Amino acid sequence: MSPIITDYSLYIHVPWCIKKCPYCDFNSHEKRSDYDEDGYVNALIKDLTTEAANVKGRTLKSIFIGGGTPSLFSADSINRILTAVDDHIDLSNTTEITLEANPGTAESEKFHSFRNIGINRLSIGIQSFNDTHLQKLGRVHNSDQAHRAISMAKEAGFERINLDLMFGLPEQTIEQACLDVKTALEYKTGHLSHYQLTLEKNTLFHKHPPALPQDDMIWEMQTASQKLIAEQLIQYEVSAYSATNQQSQHNINYWQFGDYMGIGAGAHGKITQQDGTISRYWKNKLPREYIRNSGTPSIRGGEHIVKTAELPFEFMMNALRLKSGFTIAQYHQRTRQDPILIQTTLDTLIKKGLLTQHASIYRCTEQGWNFLNNTLEHFIS
């Protein structure tokens, strides 16, 4: 049996926002009277101390501080968290430390402080540069703040910046979607996440759907936008584009079915044990419960041991999002399964024109990517 991959990532969840966006299905809560930054940081450190025992001897390669709006926290709080990581795990080999930031909470001094404590990548939730669309999305920032946030991040010395953009917005035209892309590209930040607005369950938009563009118009938006992006960046994942050496190492780890530790309210983690057992777990969603149960087993909301029959779909659901695809060796190492068990399915998808093979590398064709859900269905037992 091949050894498990020793590299892993760390996800740290900050659950508060100034305001809950109507399209957001993440575990986020509006900042109100029960907001307890110090108490939450203390709980995170206790959580980290417990989880660190599960990755002893392994190498931490990336950290992603997400939310919610992590940039609500002070640099001192973020520094306390990173210091605890260094104390319990060791940051010396960590090449990428990302912090999500909202333009509505961007401050020049804070960005400089984040950079000084070791954050080396920012992911800024722009979504759109159009004030009308930002209002319809319920964002707390306007276009001027979006522009200022990017400028402040660059002035603070960040060389790795991701911009989040959405398309298929309420009453958005193809021209407006393309203008958002052109505006983002002018900043030459090196990374762009470009994804379609979807109406997820348990969101206000799902309960009260806004008027979205027709499917054929959304397809034209995406196609036109991708042509613009391709002039400057390379698409390496379904919704991610980057300059050379600017890919998100943290997200690549997810897509390659790597392991990751999750700490924070509602955070998810995936750990492969020495015997090959893969465990997915999650933490209590409510911040108050998370803080109250810190340092106890009750901090976990649940756990799922991935069954052998689930592994092909679990792996492909991630790996086939990457333009580079996967190798048979990667599949074997990440799942501990004999690749012969999925060979018939791979051959079928090649015949249908959904996959292509070169040596031991399998990747989606353009058709397979455009109809990824149909491609993945073949791996469901």
210-224: pLDDT as tens digits:
999 999 999 999 999
What separation, in Å, do the N-terminal and C-terminal C-alpha atoms of the chain show?
24
Q: Identify the pLDDT of residue 207.
A: 92
* Cβ contact 178:186 at 8 Å: no
Gyration radius of the chain over CA positions: 21
Q: Identify the pLDDT of residue 4.
A: 65
Instruction: Tell me the domain boundaries of the chain.
Output: 7-254, 309-377
Sites in the chain below the pLDDT cut of 70? 1-4
Q: Identify the pLDDT of residue 93.
A: 83
Of 277, 276, 272, 246, which Cα lies nearest the Cα of 260? 272
Q: What is the pLDDT of residues 59-101, one digit of tens each?
A: 999 999 999 999 999 999 999 999 999 999 988 888 899 999 9
The reply to whether 7-254 and 309-377 are identical in fold is no
Classify strands 240-242 and 234-237 as parallel, antiparallel or unpaired. Answer: antiparallel
The model's pTM is 0.95
Question: In this structure, what is the dihedral angle of CA atoms 241, 243, 249, 254, given to the nearest 10 degrees?
Answer: 20
Q: Identify the pLDDT of residue 381.
A: 77
Per-position b or e across 229-262, b if 16+ CB within 10 A of its CB: beebbebbbbbbbbeeebbbbbbbbbbbbbbbbb
Dihedral angle sign, alpha carbons of residues 166, 170, 175, 176: negative
Taking the domain 7-254, which CATH number applies?
3.20.20.70
- Which CATH architecture group holds 309-377? Orthogonal Bundle (1.10)
